[in-house]
Amino acid sequence: MTITYSVKTGTETMSQRLASLLEPLGGMAGLIKPGDQVLIKPNLVAPFPHAVTDLDLLTSVVEQVRDCGGKPVIGESSGFEFDTETTFRILGINDLASRLDVKLINFDKEEFMSVELAGLKGHMVKIPKIVLEVDKFINMPKLKRHSLTKATVGIKNLFGLLDLDSRRRIHAFGLERGICALGQTIVPDLVIVDGSVVTTRAVYGEQTRLNLLAASKRITAMDVFCCKYLGLTWKDVKHIRFSVDKDRDSLSFKTIDVSGTTTETTHAGQGDSVPNIGKWNDSFSKKVHRSAYQALYFVDILYSRLRKDHSIIPVLHYYFGIRPVLDKKKCNRCGDCLPVCPVDAIFIDERRIDAKRCMPVRCLECVSACPEKAISIRGRNVDPSMK
């Protein structure tokens, strides 16, 4: 199996970089045939460009699929913490889809079908019907660390295909094995990883520019390969380790640096020194945090049964996670923050931020817009670069 990658940028456009990346794999034309319906699943988890799949890369994939005669469709769900429709709007995904004349699907509103997770007999999950109907599936994860799973690459990005109730149950009853089983159940035809900017957390974290792009037709091998850029080994990440146990061949792959150097067959775990975002420190507090989240999803299962289709997770993310806070004493009602708020959550006359409106977004645009520094960031482990 082959993994192609590039960590250099020059005068090449994103489209040219993508073509170079895919050429050793047979090119896009080797995968997509005229008339193929192609589902493209980026990571659009939050309304922050640094935390999602690069839109220039997404645009290039859509255009190259169409150049091959394929019919591209973009689909995603932001999950519990952020509202998908609002995330699309803030990121400009709706405008991008309109400009490219490509169908955009919010999976939260899609028709779902039940499937059994591979290797977990009797464990059913719901995925969008379109996943089972398309001819080809391209997975486009954003490379970054994750507070619960340590890493999010190709296999973890499949989580965005599940309906919210399936996510609750997997979180509560076995997150890592559930993610692994999902990767065995839904197998993408192509994985293209965006590691241009990598963060130390899924959304609110320190950012490091690595300029990495990588592609492969084998999702587990890709995850193994990418771990080193996160300061991890594949053995550090349970769902990748479980996936390797089911596919031992994923530990041996050929890597091609499309910038110019082809290496010999690489055995995972012996990786060469590469730029990364620093060694992972699995502290006691992080372990407690993961356990608390598992308990939270147990509670949310019960809560969602009492209040149909409602979740307490966004509320807890807001009050115990990252959020903007307005200091009434510093606010002079200048109104500079009003134009940048995408959900009209700031009531300037009352000098307050409406939690209900801000909760599914928390874009923090108001923080940098306030000339009086009356709006600040509050929450758990606020990265200094965000202040």
Q: Give 75-142 as a DSSP string.
A: EE---SSS-HHHHHHHHTHHHHHHHHT-EEEEGGGS-EEEEEPTTSTT-EEEEEHHHHH-SEEEEEPB
- What is the rounded distance in angstroms from the CA atom of residue 73 to the CA atom of residue 104? 6
CA angle at 221 for the pair 210 and 198, rounded to the nearest 5°: 20
Tell me whether domains 2-267 and 321-386 share a fold.
no
Secondary structure letter of residue 203 according to DSSP: S
| Nearest alpha carbon to residue 87 among 70, 107, 67 | 107
**244: Cβ–Cβ under 8 A, 6 or more apart, which residues?**
220, 224, 234, 250, 251, 268
Residue 253 near residue 1 (C-beta atoms within 8 A): yes
Amino acid present at 233: T
Predicted confidence pLDDT, tens digits, the chain (387 residues): 899 999 877 788 999 999 999 999 999 999 999 999 999 999 999 999 999 999 999 999 999 999 999 999 999 999 998 999 999 999 999 999 999 999 999 999 999 999 999 988 889 999 999 999 999 999 999 999 998 999 999 999 999 999 999 999 999 889 999 999 999 999 999 999 999 999 998 898 889 999 999 999 999 999 999 999 999 999 999 999 999 999 999 998 999 999 865 444 454 444 456 777 777 777 777 777 778 878 888 899 998 988 877 899 889 889 888 999 999 999 999 999 999 999 999 999 999 999 999 999 999 999 999 999 999 999 765 554 544
Predicted pLDDT at 277: 75
Pairing of strands 207-216, 2-6: antiparallel
Predicted pLDDT at 381: 57
Predicted pLDDT at 62: 98
* Residue 278: count of CB within 10 angstroms of its CB: 11
- Residue 72, strand partner residues: 38
Angle between helices 284-306 and 313-320 (to 10 degrees): 140
Dihedrals phi, psi of 214, to nearest 5 degrees: -145, 150
Predicted pLDDT at 380: 62
Please state which architecture CATH assigns to domain 321-386: 2-Layer Sandwich (3.30)
Predicted pLDDT at 198: 94
Does the 2-267 domain belong in CATH 3.40.50.11720? no
Quick one: residue 333, left, alpha or beta (phi over 0 = left, psi -120 to 50 = alpha)?
left
Predicted pLDDT at 264: 42
Residue 131 near residue 161 (C-beta atoms within 8 A): yes
Residue 30 near residue 283 (C-beta atoms within 8 A): no
Q: Residue 368 burial (CB < 10 Å; 0-12/13-18/19+)?
A: exposed
> Domain map of the chain by residue range?
2-267, 321-386
